[in-house]
């Protein structure tokens, strides 16, 4: 019998089952949930090599789950990945001496679909089984909202409420949310900034009475199932190479690259992980110096990476501190009270390398890669391509492509100098009827909207 429990990085939560971890999101002690043990795939690598993405998902995901039968998990995985445009879900492309791992062939054209499609199926299974209903609340500056909606639209046991800053998300990204006709989807255009939306989200979840009474759930990358789904493509791309590969990952909340770190710890043949940030460089500075210092958020052409405090960083820190919750809590308390915390020395460069790429470099890379190869990279992907060029890693490098270029047409077209970034699915949204409610940035207004519309 396989046994898998989830523990909190902060060490003050009773171990949870997988299903409870998925429904709970953030641990009650304020920490993040991680598996109590990390499975070792080293003995099986030969048999995992050559599997399709979906086959590999069916081999990997069950290792972290002991409360859903393997046969049921297989069905959920099949259902999650049938809506992708590629039979094999993801694709490796050679571009100028590196491999690009395209993860954006799902319903909303961003890598977040890989995890949120599976999370949607997991929610559906768990809620049906428990005869329960969930209200999902999410704050988005763009990609997360549409991918979360695509994961749960039409489900009878879920209502999803997506808050975004009114007038401050791109018109295409707004259409990807507001044109969805399903009655369980509620788009809230908040009269405020993205920070206001995140503050509202926190305030709603901090009202524990409301949270429990209304069965509120979270789909941001603190949810363990998102990390789990992402481990699969690191394994897949590493096994496609004859020698260990390094991954270069455009990073915001550290969820994507953290999945790569776990894949490495599981024994997949992974050499280094390159953390590529934009001007919001708190993480690249940390990996270079060991100092973790909060700055002001800068707004860039890679909005999904305009983040200062990365929620999944805590999961990495927990392992880096050898699972010592007391040391972790001390570090986080320092950071919380002073805006700065530091390690004795930075993590070894044997695993993580990091660099920050500015807007000019990002635009240059989009232009140069397109000119040299015809390949069109979205700005987030280009941050990774630029970092990989700069760091000159020995051995094969896989750059993670996180979004389709047509999601960010203004920057991509400007970089290339002509109109090139287009996707038929996005074009088809223009002119469709939209639904959304404008609400004030007020927590009571959000709560009463949820109560009235569930």
Ligand X SMILES: *Cc1c(COP(=O)(O)O)cnc(C)c1O
Burial of 275 (0-12, 13-18, 19+ CB in 10 A): buried
211 belongs to the catalytic site: no
Candidate ranges 32-40, 254-262, 318-326, 362-370; the one touching ligand X (CB under 6 A): 254-262
State which of positions 64-123 bind ligand X (CB under 6 A): 110, 112
Residues 91 and 102 sit within 8 Å (Cβ to Cβ): yes
Of 115 and 329, the one with the shorter C-beta distance to ligand X is 115
Q: Is 280 in the site for ligand X (CB under 6 A)?
A: no
Q: Is 363 in the site for ligand X (CB under 6 A)?
A: no
Q: Is 402 in the site for ligand X (CB under 6 A)?
A: yes
Q: Is 403 in the site for ligand X (CB under 6 A)?
A: yes
Contacting ligand X (CB under 6 A), which of 251, 284, 355, 411?
A: 251
Q: Is 254 in the site for ligand X (CB under 6 A)?
A: yes
Of 254 and 261, the one with the shorter C-beta distance to ligand X is 254
- Smallest gap from residue 254 Cβ to ligand X (A): 5
Contacting ligand X (CB under 6 A), which of 118, 214, 245, 304?
A: 304
- Smallest gap from residue 309 Cβ to ligand X (A): 12
- Smallest gap from residue 26 Cβ to ligand X (A): 16
**With CB under 6 A, what is the number of residues at the site for ligand X?**
16
Which three-class secondary structure string do you get for the chain? CCCCCEEECCCCCCCECHHHHHHHCCCCCCCCEEECCCCCCHHHHHHHCCCCHHHHHHHHHHHHCCCCCHHHHHHHHHHHHCCCCCCCCCEEEEECCEEEEECCCCCCCECHHHHHHHHHHHHHHHHHHHCCCEEEEEECCCHHHHHHHHHHCCCCCEEEEEEEECCCCCHHHHHHHHCCCCCCEEEEEEECCHHHHHHHHHHHHHCHHHHHHCCEECCCCCCHHHHHHHHHHHHHHHHCCCCCEEEEEECCCCHHHHHHHHHHHHCCCEEEEEEEECCCCHHHHHHHHCEEECCCCCCCCCHHHCCCCCCCHHHHHHHHCCCCHHHHHHHHHHHHHHCEEECCCCCCCCCEEEEECCHHHHHHHHHHHHHHHCCCCCHHHHHHHHHHHHHCCCCCEEEEECECHHHCHHHHHHHHCCCCCCCHHHHCCCCCCCCCEEEECCHHHHHHHHHHCC
Q: Is 366 in the site for ligand X (CB under 6 A)?
A: no
- How many Å apart are CA 150 and CA 145, to the nearest integer? 9
The torsion defined by the Cα of 373, 379, 104 and 40, in degrees rounded to 10, comes to: 100
Q: Is 380 in the site for ligand X (CB under 6 A)?
A: yes
Contacting ligand X (CB under 6 A), which of 62, 192, 235, 255?
A: 255
Of 34 and 304, the one with the shorter C-beta distance to ligand X is 304
- Smallest gap from residue 52 Cβ to ligand X (A): 24
Q: Is 124 in the site for ligand X (CB under 6 A)?
A: no
State which of positions 208-227 bind ligand X (CB under 6 A): 221
| Active-site residue, selected from the candidate residues 112, 121, 264, 447 | 112
- Smallest gap from residue 270 Cβ to ligand X (A): 17
Contacting ligand X (CB under 6 A), which of 19, 141, 146, 253?
A: 253
**Residues in contact with 69: Cβ distance below 8 Å, sequence separation at least 6, in sequence order:** none
Candidate ranges 39-47, 212-220, 247-255, 440-448; the one touching ligand X (CB under 6 A): 247-255
Candidate ranges 87-95, 236-244, 251-259, 424-432; the one touching ligand X (CB under 6 A): 251-259
Of 13 and 312, the one with the shorter C-beta distance to ligand X is 312
Candidate ranges 173-181, 235-243, 248-256, 435-443; the one touching ligand X (CB under 6 A): 248-256
Of 166 and 254, the one with the shorter C-beta distance to ligand X is 254
Q: Is 256 in the site for ligand X (CB under 6 A)?
A: yes
Residues 170 and 178 sit within 8 Å (Cβ to Cβ): no
Q: Is 6 in the site for ligand X (CB under 6 A)?
A: no
Candidate ranges 34-42, 172-180, 250-258, 437-445; the one touching ligand X (CB under 6 A): 250-258
Residues that bind ligand X (CB under 6 A): 110, 112, 143, 221, 250-256, 304-305, 380, 402-403
Catalogue the active-site residues. Answer: 112
């Amino acid at each position: 019998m396989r046994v898998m429990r989830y523990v909190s990085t902060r060490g003050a939560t009773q171990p949870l089952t997988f299903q409870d971890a998925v429904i709970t999101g953030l641990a009650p002690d304020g920490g993040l949930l991680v598996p109590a043990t990390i499975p070792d795939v080293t003995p099986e690598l030969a048999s995992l090599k050559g599997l399709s993405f979906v086959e590999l998902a069916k081999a990997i995901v069950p290792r972290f789950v002991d409360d859903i039968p393997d046969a049921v998990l297989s069905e959920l995985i099949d259902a999650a990945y049938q809506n992708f445009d590629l039979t094999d879900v993801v694709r490796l492309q050679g571009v100028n001496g590196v491999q690009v791992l395209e993860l954006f062939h799902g319903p909303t054209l961003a890598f977040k679909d890989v995890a949120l499609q599976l999370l949607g199926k997991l929610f559906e299974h768990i809620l049906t089984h428990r005869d329960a209903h969930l209200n999902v609340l999410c704050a988005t500056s763009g990609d997360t909202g549409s991918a979360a909606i695509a994961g749960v639209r039409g489900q009878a046991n879920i209502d999803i409420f997506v808050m975004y800053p009114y007038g401050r998300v791109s018109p295409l990204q707004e259409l990807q949310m507001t044109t969805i006709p399903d009655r369980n989807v509620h788009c809230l255009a908040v009269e405020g900034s993205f920070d206001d939306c995140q503050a509202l989200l926190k305030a709603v979840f901090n009202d524990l009475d409301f949270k429990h009474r209304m069965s509120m759930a979270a789909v941001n990358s603190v949810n363990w199932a998102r990390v789990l789904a992402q481990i699969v493509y690191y394994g897949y791309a590493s096994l496609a190479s004859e020698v260990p590969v390094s991954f270069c990952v455009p990073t915001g909340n550290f969820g994507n690259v953290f999945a790569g770190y776990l894949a490495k710890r599981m024994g997949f043949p992974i050499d280094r992980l390159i953390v590529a940030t934009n001007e919001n460089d708190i993480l690249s500075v940390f990996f270079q110096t060991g100092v973790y210092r909060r700055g002001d958020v800068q707004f860039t052409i890679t909005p999904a990476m305009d983040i200062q405090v990365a929620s999944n960083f805590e999961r990495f820190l927990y392992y880096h501190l050898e699972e010592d919750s007391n040391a972790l809590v001390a570090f986080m308390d320092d950071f919380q009270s002073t805006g700065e915390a530091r390690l004795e020395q930075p993590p070894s460069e044997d695993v993580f390398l990091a660099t920050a790429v500015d807007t000019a470099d990002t635009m240059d890379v989009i232009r140069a890669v397109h000119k040299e190869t015809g390949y069109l990279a979205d700005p987030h992907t280009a941050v990774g391509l630029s970092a990989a060029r700069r760091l000159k890693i020995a051995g094969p490098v896989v750059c993670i492509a996180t979004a389709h270029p047509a999601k960010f047409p203004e920057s991509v077209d400007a970089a290339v100098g002509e109109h090139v970034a287009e996707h038929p699915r996005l074009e088809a949204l223009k002119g469709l009827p939209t639904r959304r409610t404008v609400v004030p940035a007020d927590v009571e207004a959000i709560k009463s909207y949820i109560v009235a519309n569930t």
